[in-house]
Chains A and B, each alone.
Chain A
Amino acid sequence: MLLQGSEIVVRTLIEQGVEVVFGFPGATVIDIYDALLAHKEEIHHVLVAHEQGAAHAADGFARATGKPGVCLATSGPGSTNLVTGIAASFMDSTPLVIITGNVATTQIGTDSFQEIDITGVTLPITKHNYFVEDVAELADTMCEAFVLACSGRPGPVLVDIAKDVQQAVGEFEPRPAVVVEEPSLWDVSQLEAAAACINACHRPLVYFGGGIVAASAEDEVLELAERVDAPLACSLMGLSAVPTAHPRFLGMEGMHGRYAATMAMKNADCIIALGCRFNDRSTGDRERFGAAVHIVHVDIDGSEISKTTSDDFGLVGDVRLVLAALMPLLEQADHRGWRELVAKLRADEASQTDTRGGLTPRSALIAADATRPRGSVVVTDVGQHQMWAAQYLSFDRPRSFVTNGGLGAMGFGLPAAIGASLASGMRTLLVVGDGGFGMSLHEMATAVSVEAPITILLMNNGTLGMVRQWQTLFYEKRHAATTLTGYRRTNYVALARAFGADGMRVDTLEALQKALDAAAHVTGPYLIDCAIDADELVLPMMAPAGALDDIIVRAEDVR
């Protein structure tokens, strides 16, 4: 049948099962918006306040569901505003389809009004991108974009569509949803050698990242840990893949990882690394990382093998399939001495626990965690609160922790929480600092518009805390440009009310509990302005480019 290009765009979205699109209209996407209006029963469009919010919200939706998130923006500033959101998705490998309008093909290349070469701009931060200049290619390109975004290692794919292509009429054949590439094994030539290495080791550690979540390989990971008698540790992106309460789970390791996890990494003689990329925040100084340890690295992306570490064995493929192939080669292990050492590390960690009474980052997060519904999603922004959340919160199902790891984009939290809460339909806990909240607080308007069920735990320490922490520790307490108290005069509860939401300021644990209970009975967003001391540190802390055992554990060690 013959359809207008804009109609083809919306029909392909419906075919792919897209239920929600986050976007903001403009001159070069009016036609797509026109088609969305005609299909408003099938696709829910969420109007955001700023296009960056559209990208983060679509990303939050994708992280919470595993389905591709979709966002839509106009040419020029609309598309450039997406850039941070696209980069956040790219760095954490989340499936995102970004649709942008562009000026008509007759005007491309002439610097016309709101013309930007967005495929050029996003070249290094997309898995792939397309500029569609012929309506005949539109449907195929849209489908290809979904296949690419979701296949293999997921990522953002941008489709830039010239305005006259949206207005042109082209042939459209209805088709079923695209089939994502079957998971496959790419290179497991070292399978037997890797198995031999694992069988011969005495202190194995199973270390996983976000790739486990992408591949839904949680069960296989636990099975592996049982077989080789290993503790489990993860990167920030791996959190929530394994229940926090699992007896083998030590938590996140790395710069602000939990003590036992980081020390287990240091003491292991074989790291079985699954779906992770050994980021610098995980390894510390790479010269001193892994020198005395064998690394078996499994990833779907062959370029991750030995990219930053000296991996002894690389197994490339879907991690579920690789583990299925590996398991029969592994002997049931019993590493009693190692279990005892890990138990001691855990006891050491327990003795370091911050047991201060009153309202502290830990007590605030534990209270918020206890109040949230089982299986609900936690979203964070970026900074100290993010690391506290990673250390203190407890997760019971995969995809219940949404955070921006690789890019570390402040401002991610609120819009991502909108996407995640709409995806899950459950009250979502957003943990955010006052610095990051300021970068996207305009999305309160969106949260109110769609009654997004979000409890916003604003950990307000009146400072840009993570930078302040570095200044405290490494810059002789010269707190340049990080002190907000006395500089800004924002009243966050009044701000929430101005947007049409409500909130409460709390500076005791009891008041926080009352506020959490109040939030649970609200339909839309609810803001809790929670007082946190400006001098709170995220600990433990491995010094930047320090070694794994070069850890600051207690606040007393600093002062």
Chain B
Amino acid sequence: MNRHTLAILVHNRFGVLNRVTSMFRRRRFNIESLTVSETETAAYSRITVVFDGDDGSKEQLIHQLYKLPDVVMVRELDREATVSCELLLIKLANVAGEPRNDILDAAGAFEAKIMEYSRDAIILRLVGDTQLIDNFIDLMRDYEILESCRTGVISLSRGKSTMRDDIA
């Protein structure tokens, strides 16, 4: 089992995300994270998928993706040649009278930004790779996490090339 990151360029149409995720579900692909967003052109949306599997299941996933008429391009993103990150928002309980310096120190060490600091809650924002965010959440478990969410990975390959270059 290896972790793979795929970028998928799809037609920017109603229901395309549903088509892609429906295929993942029925073929039982083990998806770790999935993000979707608009791109530099209105014609395409970009889906970034991180999943765990052997090379065979990666090949299978790519082939199955290309069978969907709305999928324009699939590219496997190699960790070394890719800039990747994700975004975390985490809300911690703030208790009046207790010093919170340890939380703020950790936030400082991770370069997390304080988005809210109120009488009863602290919201932190952290941008980084998956490991960094995992580590930060782990550290925050010493305190009371009220809720958290993260975006999943987004990635771009390094250098000038784009996925659109590969569209014949």
Interface residues of A (CB under 8 A from B): 119-120, 123-124, 127-128, 148, 301-303, 305-307
Contacts and interface: CB of A to CB of B under 8 A. Distances in A.
B67 interface: yes
Contacts of A301: 63, 67
Contacts of B37: none
A301 B22 CA distance: 19
Contact of A119 (B15, B66, B67, B69): B15
A303 B69 contact: no
A128 B22 CA distance: 13
A-B pairs with the 9 shortest C-beta distances?
A303-B63, A302-B63, A128-B69, A123-B22, A124-B26, A303-B64, A306-B56, A303-B60, A124-B22
Contacts of B69: 127-128, 148
A95 to B, nearest CB: 15
A301 B63 CA distance: 8
Interface string B66-93: 1111000000000000000000000000
Interface string B34-74: 00000000000000000000001001100110111100000
A302 B74 CA distance: 14
A123 B19 contact: yes
B135 interface: no
A128 B19 CA distance: 9
Contacts of A123: 18-19, 22
A162 to B, nearest CB: 14
9 contacts: A120-B18, A123-B18, A124-B26, A127-B67, A127-B69, A128-B69, A305-B63, A306-B59, A306-B60
Interface in B151-166: none
A316 B23 CA distance: 21
Nearest to B22: A123
Contacts of A124: 22-23, 26
Given A119-B15, A301-B67, A302-B63, 11 more contacts: A123-B18, A123-B19, A123-B22, A127-B67, A128-B69, A148-B69, A302-B66, A303-B60, A303-B64, A306-B59, A307-B60
Nearest to A124: B26
B155 to A, nearest CB: 24
Contacts of A307: 60
Contacts of B19: 123
Nearest to A120: B18
Contacts of A127: 67, 69
Contacts of B15: 119
Contacts of A128: 68-69
A302 B67 CA distance: 9
A117 to B, nearest CB: 10
A497 B23 CA distance: 47
Contacts of B63: 301-303, 305
A20 B26 CA distance: 34
Contacts of A303: 60, 63-64, 67
A270 B56 CA distance: 21
Nearest to B69: A128
Nearest to B59: A306
A305 B22 CA distance: 22
A143 B14 CA distance: 20
A118 B122 CA distance: 46
A303 B59 CA distance: 8
Contacts of A306: 56, 59-60
Contacts of A148: 69
Contacts of A302: 63, 66
A528 to B, nearest CB: 41
Contacts of A120: 18
A555 B23 CA distance: 43
